[in-house]
A = this chain, B = another copy of it.
Amino acid sequence: MDSFEVPEVVVLRLPLYVRALSQLRDGGTDVVSSQQLGSLLQMTPAQIRKDLSYFGRFGKQGRGYNVRFLLRELREILGLDREWRACLIGVGRLGHAIINYPGFSPEGFKIVAAFDGDPKQVGTQIGGFTVRPMSDLAETVKEMKISIGIVAVPASEAQGVIENLIENNVKGILNYAPVAPQVPMNTVIRNIDPVLSLQSMTFYLR
């Protein structure tokens, strides 16, 4: 299977499958039909069968999917069967909120270092780490095998910081700055922006 053969919209849905299957497993369900899975995910059974068909045959017609097997396979496909190491850039209020976010580590995403461009922040403590200067980025990324950069700097600095990360071979960017940075093709960026979510909500609430 080649990553480029799978539509991105399918890849974006796979984590939802993983979450639903984990809940089914924890609830003691051994086999699930595409109908049941569809009803959990608010999708049609046909869409689910089509999505999964990109990765081979997981179920037999009329027999449903083995929950544990499908979960294990999808976790492997997504690369969730290993630990991923991330660094945080920017230790202001937002950076503190991120380092205290309880959801990353149980899912295998481990923040292992924190950086800041402000000399006054360098050397301070955050979430058990000593904040490093940006000049240490290249060495730290290599030494600690960091592949994901979590960006929590002000909007005006985000593009520069992201380019710096990419130059140092960090190919996954989780961006919390309220901008849409430009990145090269072989980089994967995801933007987290609750304000954008609220701003599209108010259209319906007026």
Report A's interface with B, CB cutoff 8 A. 3, 6, 11-12, 14-16, 18-19, 41-42, 77-80, 84, 92-94, 96-98, 100-104, 107, 109, 147-148, 171-172, 174, 178-180, 182, 188, 190, 192, 194-206
Contact across chains for A205 and B107 when beta carbons are under 8 A apart: no
Evaluate whether A195 and B107 lie within 8 angstroms (CB atoms) in the complex, with A180-B42, A200-B15, A204-B188 already known: yes
A41-B11 contact, Cβ under 8 Å, with A147-B205, A204-B3: no
Q: Which residues of B contact A107 (CB under 8 A)?
A: 195, 198-199
- A109-B195, A195-B109, A197-B174 known; A202+B80 contact, CB < 8 A: yes
Please, which residues of chain B bring their CB within 8 A of the CB of A147? 205
* Known contacts A148-B201, A205-B188: A196-B15 contact under CB 8 Å: yes
Q: Is the CB of B11 within 8 A of A200?
A: yes
Residues of the B chain whose Cβ atoms lie less than 8 Å from the Cβ of A14: 199-200, 203
What is the oligomeric copy number?
2
CA–CA, A182 to B41, complex, Å?
10
Query: Chain B contacts of A12 at CB under 8 A?
Result: 200
User: Would B203 and A148 count as touching, CB distance under 8 A?
Assistant: no
Q: How far is the CA of A118 from the CA of B19 in the complex (A)?
A: 26
Please tell me if the beta carbons of B84 and A198 are within 8 angstroms of each other in the complex: yes
Least Cβ–Cβ distance between A174 and chain B, in angstroms: 6
Q: Name the contact of A174 in the complex, choosing from B78, B194, B206 (C-beta under 8 A).
A: B194
Complex CA distance for A194 and B78, rounded to whole angstroms: 15
Chain B residues within 8 Å of A92, by CB:
102
Interface contact A198-B190, CB-CB below 8 Å: yes
Could you tell me if A192 and B190 are in contact, using CB atoms closer than 8 angstroms? no
A190 and B197 form a contact (CB under 8 A): yes
**In the complex, which of the residues B19, B80, B101, B202 contacts A97, with contact meaning CB atoms closer than 8 Å?**
B101
